[in-house]
C-alpha cells in the first residue's frame, strides 16, 4: 500500500513528511516514533527467553580447534559464541552486553549461565544477564564503580568519573 502511495501526486507531501521525521532528533520523541515498529505483531520482534550454559569463545578460533577448518585470519575473532556444555556453538549478538566478552578475557574463562533473547529471525542470541556457575552456586556478573555506585555491563572507564571499575560477582539463589 505504501509503495503505491509514493507514486501518486501526494509524493511531495510524503517526502516532506519524511524530512520532518528525520528532523525529529530528540531521544524521547525518537522512542515514541519507534515504539509502534516493535509491536507484538512484528515478527522480527518476536523472541523467546532462554537459559544457556557453557563458555564464551571466538567462533572462528573454536571451530578451527573442533573441526580443523580455518577461518581467514580477520574472521577468527569476528563472532562471539557460546560453546554449550552439549558442544554446540551458539552465536551471540554483539551489543554492549555481548561486547563485554570481547573486552574482558576473564569472562571467557568462566563457566557461565546466560539469560538470552532468541529472536525468531536470527540464530544469534542477545545476552540479557550473565551468571558464573561455580561449585554449584551462581554469581551474577557485572561491573561496578565504588566512587559513583553505578553498574556497568562491560569493562571500560567509569561512565561517570572516568576512573577504573571492577568486575563484580554477586551470589544469587
Query: Which positions touch Zn ion (CB under 5 A)?
Result: 145, 147-148, 158, 160-161
CB-closest chain residue to Zn ion: 158
- At 164 the three-state DSSP class reads coil
Nearer to Zn ion, 160 or 170 (CB): 160
Nearer to Zn ion, 123 or 163 (CB): 163
Count the Cβ atoms, other than its own, within 10 Å of residue 56: 25
CA distances from 138 to 128, 132, 154 (A): 15, 6, 19
DSSP 8-state class, residue 92: B
Shortest distance, position 153 Cβ to Zn ion, whole Å = 14
Torsion of CA 91, 95, 157, 113, to 10 degrees: -50
Secondary element (H or E) of residue 97: helix 96-103
Nearer to Zn ion, 133 or 158 (CB): 158
Shortest distance, position 166 Cβ to Zn ion, whole Å = 11
Shortest distance, position 144 Cβ to Zn ion, whole Å = 9
Nearer to Zn ion, 32 or 160 (CB): 160
Shortest distance, position 158 Cβ to Zn ion, whole Å = 3
Amino acid at each position: 500500500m505504501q509503495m503505491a502511495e509514493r507514486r501518486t501526486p501526494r509524493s511531495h507531501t510524503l517526502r516532506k513528511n519524511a524530512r520532518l521525521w528525520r528532523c525529529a532528533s530528540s531521544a524521547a520523541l525518537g522512542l515514541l516514533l519507534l515504539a509502534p515498529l516493535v509491536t507484538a505483531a512484528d515478527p522480527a520482534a518476536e523472541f523467546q527467553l532462554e537459559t544457556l550454559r557453557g563458555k564464551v569463545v571466538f567462533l572462528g578460533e573454536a571451530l578451527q580447534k573442533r573441526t580443523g577448518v580455518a577461518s581467514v585470519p580477520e574472521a577468527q575473532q569476528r563472532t562471539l559464541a557460546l560453546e554449550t556444555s552439549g558442544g554446540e556453538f551458539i552465536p551471540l549478538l554483539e551489543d554492549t552486553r555481548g561486547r563485554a566478552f570481547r573486552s574482558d578475557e576473564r569472562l571467557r574463562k568462566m563457566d557461565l549461565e546466560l539469560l538470552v533473547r532468541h529472536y525468531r529471525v536470527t540464530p544469534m542470541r542477545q545476552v540479557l544477564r550473565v551468571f558464573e556457575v561455580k561449585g554449584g552456586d551462581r554469581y551474577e556478573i557485572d561491573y561496578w564503580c565504588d566512587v559513583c555506585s553505578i553498574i556497568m555491563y562491560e569493562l571500560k572507564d567509569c561512565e561517570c568519573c572516568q576512573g577504573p571499575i571492577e568486575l563484580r560477582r554477586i551470589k544469587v539463589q
